[in-house]
Amino acid sequence: MTEETRGFVPVSFKDGRWTTAEGEEVPWYEVQTDLVPEADVQGALERVLSVYGVSDVVVDAFDQFRKELKQPTEPSSQDRG
C-alpha cells in the first residue's frame, strides 16, 4: 500500500499473503482484523449458556466441542487404507 492510501482497504488472505482486490500485497503488520480474542468468545459463550438456563448436558457438549477444535486431527487407521 502506498503512503497516499488512507482509511479502510479490504484485503483477503490467500496463499499466506494479505492482498488487496487489485492484487497488491499488504504487509501483515498493516492489516487490522475484526477477530475477537478467544478469551472474549469463551466468556460470552459461558454467559449466554448460563443466562438461558441451558442444561449441563448441553454445556458439557459445548466444552467437548471446544476441546476438539483446539486439537489437531490425526489420521486414523481407517484413512490409511
Q: Output the pLDDT for position 15.
A: 86
Q: Output the pLDDT for position 4.
A: 60
Q: Output the pLDDT for position 81.
A: 47
Low-confidence ranges of the chain (pLDDT < 50): 1, 76-78, 80-81
Give domain limits for the chain: 7-33, 38-70
Q: Output the pLDDT for position 59.
A: 79
* pTM of the complete model beyond 0.85: no
Task: Map residue 60 onto helix, strand or coil.
Answer: helix
CA dihedral 19→21→22→27, nearest 10 degrees, is: -20
